[in-house]
Structure 1
């Protein structure tokens, strides 16, 4: 039976364990946690096997998810890089496969990125490079996309950051309505309703670009078209593109 060791801390371990079990992963999950409450919860809810140390997780597993924060990876691997054998799937952003193989010379090294979406939705997972056994395992986490180019993988990592940015756009729209006099709760509902309509329409019409769908809503001489003319004159996309470039540059360097 496959024995999967989760090397990381905090919420990311909880979300990963949840996704694996929700999608019927039947293998053993080994973890180490400094937090007794978290360890007991994961053991009770997801059948995780609690280990007394990270070293014991490595010793008892044949497949690993590396999920530490980027700034902790050097210190974290110092004691483990020579001991860890088997298949290593790194979820650490900015750590390219070449450097990953140098840190873990005895392991089969792969990279993955997970959107870690809210629990009621399937996560989006990207894998580089491809391998059938790794593909099957990551399929338990959500919708899997295999990538053949590492730069494409970095772009997929940039996309995971967009989730956090969109909240600020929603905040600005709600704030404007509230400042004009609408009750904040009602303004929030209106903004969310618009977002939900966009998501439903986009999902139902996958062959139409986002731009085409937007143009269908903002028909000539409509109120929506008047607002769109202002947005086109002062394109918000420039700021979004600049934010993406900054994240991509930090991942590559």
Structure 2
């Protein structure tokens, strides 16, 4: 499937901006972007950097585009999207976390609706993106930002999309470990790069190895090892329970 060449953005902000930055990696194959006027400062910056065109209204964005990224605040969706000149041949690709397909469809009819949750690593082509449903144009667009995980069940999409938040929490954990490392006397950039590589190495093992992750942990945490010693402290302090609680909290938000 060929990537749509004319993409509109309704709701110009941090997430949609990082998506555009990720698509800029396509070089000469980068789509043309049409931006809504809200978020004027962010839109102007994107227009200057990537030759995007800022239009006068959301209606003009829809008229100009083959696919439209929906990135407004969830509570602004109806006001921003209803009554626009949507077409049957258009894709409306929502990045609004908690707005269900049944809500979106009447707002953008007769356009085709798809939902996705990317993360900001899309600027490096490394996003962990969820997509529902398996819409060819959406999948082609998102593949340029990192391999999407496609779900055919919307409830499964919502459960897996919780990990868009896990991504942020993982960065917070990396920063805590970086801070400790720096305070131990390691130069700041060395601390940042090495700690990031440690987490990347762990993620690579979890993703690429056919061994269950729990077994990988057991292999590292052998008796009397330093890894085992630290893991026992974490388990004694019940350090993993707050992560489960945080995941449950966000899932409830998706469940409504």
What residue number does 1:218 align with?
221
Structure 1, 135-144 or 118-127: larger mean CA deviation? 118-127
1:183-222 correspondence to structure 2 within 5 Å: 183=185, 186=187, 193-203=194-204, 205-222=208-225
Q: Structure 1 residue 56: deviation in Å?
A: 0.9
TM-score by length of 1: 0.83
Q: Distance in 1 between matches of 2:91 and 2:47?
A: 24
What residue number does 1:236 align with?
239
Q: Distance in 2 between matches of 1:188 and 1:215?
A: 31
Distance 1:43-1:244 versus aligned 2 partners, 3 A rule: same
Q: Distance in 2 between matches of 1:157 and 1:47?
A: 31
What residue number does 1:97 align with?
101
What residue number does 1:164 align with?
168
What residue number does 1:126 align with?
130
What residue number does 1:46 align with?
50
Q: 1:136 aligns with which of 126, 133, 140?
A: 140
Q: Distance in 2 between matches of 1:32 and 1:18?
A: 17
Q: Structure 1 residue 5: deviation in Å?
A: 0.9
Structure 1, 31-40 or 4-13: larger mean CA deviation? 31-40
Q: What SS does the aligned partner of 2:120 have? A: coil
Are 1:182 and 2:177 counterparts? no
Q: 1:84 aligns with which of 72, 83, 86?
A: 86
Q: Distance in 2 between matches of 1:9 and 1:115?
A: 15
What residue number does 2:73 align with?
69
Q: What SS does the aligned partner of 2:129 have? A: strand
What residue number does 2:12 align with?
9
Q: Mark the runs of 5 or more structure 1 residues left unpaired by the alignment.
A: none
Are 1:112 and 2:116 counterparts? yes
**Per-residue deviation, residues 205-250 of structure 1 (Å, max 9, x unmatched):** 5223333333232221123322222323343222111110110111
Q: What SS does the aligned partner of 2:123 have? A: coil
Q: Distance in 1 between matches of 2:53 and 2:192?
A: 43
Q: Distance in 1 between matches of 2:66 and 2:125?
A: 29
**Per-residue deviation, residues 131-175 of structure 1 (Å, max 9, x unmatched):** 223322222232222111112211222101012212443455466
Q: Distance in 1 between matches of 2:232 and 2:56?
A: 61
Determine if contact 2:43/2:54 at 8 Å carries over to the other structure: yes
TM-score by length of 2: 0.82
Q: Distance in 2 between matches of 1:114 and 1:207?
A: 26
CA RMSD of aligned residues (A): 2.8
